[in-house]
Structure 1
Amino acid sequence: MKTADKLLVRALRGETLKRPPIWLMRQAGRYLPEYRATRAKAGAFLDLCFNPELATEVTLQPIRRFGFDAAILFSDILVVPHALGQNVRFEEGRGPVLDPLVDDEAINRLAMDQFHQRLKAVYATIGGIRAGLPAETALIGFAGAPWTVASYMIEGGSSRDFAKIKSWAYGRPDSFQRLINLLVEATAQYLNAQIEAGAEVLQLFDSWAGSLDHAGLLRWSYQPMKAIVDRVRMSHPDVPVIVFPRACGAGYLDFARQPFMHGLSLDSGVPLDWAFTQLQGRLALQGNLDPQLLVTGGDAMRNAATRILETLGRGPFIFNLGHGIVPETPPEHVGALVDLVQGWQS
């Protein structure tokens, strides 16, 4: 099947389909026993990300089990700072840990000279996934948006208040802009290389966009993502892009009013009627079932999913969650959701 004929791509091109495509963020993950078994073979988490055979396997596992309409590359947003030369590791029970950037000299030590060499395993994984996917299933490549990636690079890991990165961005904006510019260039090159390896759709994750005030959202989330997409389109104008500025509230309007992307992914807090009247029609929407409803299952999940389908399924739409699948999700609930969405008729 041609890429242009796949359901996900058609929705992103603005078609209202008889039923929307469905894929789920973190659909390859710890809720699946087959993932846990493969993960145990890999050793450290980054070893799994950089093992093309195992990363291909975990990407394909949910496709085999559930028949999603798209697969998303199994990797992590922090492979970009790793490839730039920052020390990145994952610790059990703690998550990502980085040697934090503390000044301009730390930025100066980041470099592009070995960037693609350090990421060659990711590109090999994309080729393996593409070869193993059913013909009708689209392949999504992805990267983290500069604000979110920079937050890990400066905070040294996850953060509750983002105090270090905000102090730098608000107090020394010209210095911080240097880091953002580097991440824009690196991320654009990374995504272009993913396309050349076989990715058919891209998604940019700005998971911490909601930590910014409105002016900061426009400068540090919207503008860098637009710059990345503009660079990608110079080389690959036909590849659709989804952006996810999570928890940005009314800021979604800024993304929808001047869209540089094909799809806008919504978190679970976005009201459906507001999304329908204010956002849909400008571009394709994606979302936005609460991941905890997928844990709960049953009538609660079915009723919420049906409301989403009835409200947003009347326009270009991709069914997804408002964030990623959580580890305690029963796999049978995922199967029931896929059956519901794929059996729905607009």
Structure 2
Amino acid sequence: MAKQINDTILRAFKGEAVDYTPAWYMRQAGRSQPEYRELKEKYSLFEITHQPELCAYVTRLPVENYGVDAAILYKDIMSPLPSLGVDVEIKSGIGPVIHNPIESYQDVEKLGTINPEADVPYVLDTIRLLTEEQLDVPLIGFSGAPFTLASYMIEGGPSKNYSKTKAFMYREPEAWFALMDKLADMTITYVEAQIKAGARAIQIFDSWVGALNAPDYRLYIKPAMTRIFSELKRHDVPLIIFGVGAGHLLTEWNDLPVDVIGLDWRTSIPEARAMGVTKVLQGNLDPAILVTEWDLIEKRTKDILDAGMVDGRHVFNLGHGVTPDIQPATLKKLTDLIHSHSKR
């Protein structure tokens, strides 16, 4: 039997009237928490995510420490890729490193499919543990989007300019669309399993798609994204899209069958609305502000909340993830400020 949960954020994601602006923070579970850093001295990221009790603890911690209105599953966007035959390693200080990068159509053809119950049972067990026994707020599940996953798979790791990825896209369109299809299939199957296990909302991270211009996005990416969100829409859970440096793609995203568009810190809520974006907005305090003095944090936070309260269709978040230098006490104080300032 699932615990009774505070569903304020789910109602806000759907654009319904709520008593206050709810909040959660990308990367809220992890690097800035002393309890997490202690764990990381003993376990790697993959080791934590493979142990449901441990992973549930890390996921739950920021809800207990900061009072946020949702948990986000602690895992990495790389988690499902090994099941496709991708040889990925998370290297400290670097990020994901792919030892068998995609270079040809044949490499795309070799990719397998995901069977979540068999390939990532620990992810689903963690979700069940959290949603059936531990959390009193909704759990957000997530997946990387096809372009962002493809960028790692083609570059072999993180990239500054995605030149190999874009060259492959332009030069090998048949292979590119085959890769988008395989990654879209994987995303749909993987996310549906998370929903079935108990995730109450889903965020698709297209973190690096801002590297593309709008016409290329429409041609090379949007068909796969439309299919992903159209399929997931059947499950009646709120769907969120987020990317970094993607302000020029907001009107493209507004066309997608999503409920919520996440803004990074470069585009304000009034700017997004002036562009014709009608979806619920999520964001978008610059994480760097959180290592400055409280007066500035308070002012910037209130500015964002006030802009969001103009039409009330807003969930507070950061414009990107929590960084390791942000103090947990600051995040707790921030959550309290968001709740008190936005109380209707």
Same structural fold, with TM-score higher than 0.5 when normalized by the shorter chain: yes
Structure 1 equivalent of residue 98 of structure 2: 98
- CA drift at 1:12: 1.4
- CA drift at 1:259: 3.7
Equivalent residues in 2 for 1:238-257 (5 A)?
238-256=236-254
Residue pair 1:3, 1:200 contacting (<8 A) in 2 also: no
2:299 aligned with 1:303, yes or no?
yes
Structure 1 equivalent of residue 111 of structure 2: 110
- CA drift at 1:114: 5.3
TM (normalized to structure 1)?
0.93
Superposed CA deviations along residues 197-216 of structure 1, whole A, max 9, x for unmatched, are 11000000000011001112
Structure 2 equivalent of residue 264 of structure 1: 261
Structure 2 equivalent of residue 171 of structure 1: 171
Equivalent residues in 2 for 1:21-36 (5 A)?
21-36=22-37
Opposite residue 205 of structure 1, the aligned amino acid is F
Q: Partners in 1 of 2:194 and 2:248 — Cα distance?
A: 31
CA RMSD of aligned residues (A): 1.9
Residue pair 1:97, 1:157 contacting (<8 A) in 2 also: yes
Q: Partners in 2 of 1:139 and 1:343 — Cα distance?
A: 23
SS in 2 for 1:79: coil
Percent of aligned pairs with the same amino acid: 35
Quickly say closer, same or farther: Cα 1:164–1:108, change in 2 above 3 A. Answer: same
Quickly say closer, same or farther: Cα 1:94–1:113, change in 2 above 3 A. Answer: closer
Residue pair 2:3, 2:134 contacting (<8 A) in 1 also: no
Opposite residue 324 of structure 1, the aligned amino acid is G
TM (normalized to structure 2)?
0.94
Residue pair 1:242, 1:261 contacting (<8 A) in 2 also: yes
Structure 2 equivalent of residue 85 of structure 1: 85
Residue pair 1:72, 1:140 contacting (<8 A) in 2 also: yes
Q: Partners in 2 of 1:48 and 1:89 — Cα distance?
A: 14
Q: Following superposition, which runs of at least 4 residues in structure 1 exceed 6 angstroms of deviation? A: 1-5
Residue pair 1:32, 1:331 contacting (<8 A) in 2 also: yes
Residue pair 1:17, 1:316 contacting (<8 A) in 2 also: no
2:325 aligned with 1:325, yes or no?
no
Quickly say closer, same or farther: Cα 1:193–1:114, change in 2 above 3 A. Answer: closer
Q: Partners in 1 of 2:4 and 2:201 — Cα distance?
A: 9
Q: Partners in 2 of 1:153 and 1:300 — Cα distance?
A: 40
Quickly say closer, same or farther: Cα 1:279–1:21, change in 2 above 3 A. Answer: farther
Structure 2 equivalent of residue 341 of structure 1: 338
Aligned length: 340
Residue pair 2:201, 2:238 contacting (<8 A) in 1 also: yes
Q: Partners in 2 of 1:299 and 1:11 — Cα distance?
A: 28
SS in 1 for 2:202: strand
Superposed CA deviations along residues 154-188 of structure 1, whole A, max 9, x for unmatched, are 10110011111101101111111101100000110
Superposed CA deviations along residues 135-158 of structure 1, whole A, max 9, x for unmatched, are 3x1110000010000000110110
Opposite residue 45 of structure 2, the aligned amino acid is F
Deviates more, 1:219-228 or 1:182-191: 219-228
Residue pair 1:259, 1:283 contacting (<8 A) in 2 also: no
Superposed CA deviations along residues 103-152 of structure 1, whole A, max 9, x for unmatched, are 122222211165542211111111112134443x1110000010000000
Q: Partners in 1 of 2:215 and 2:16 — Cα distance?
A: 33
Opposite residue 155 of structure 2, the aligned amino acid is E
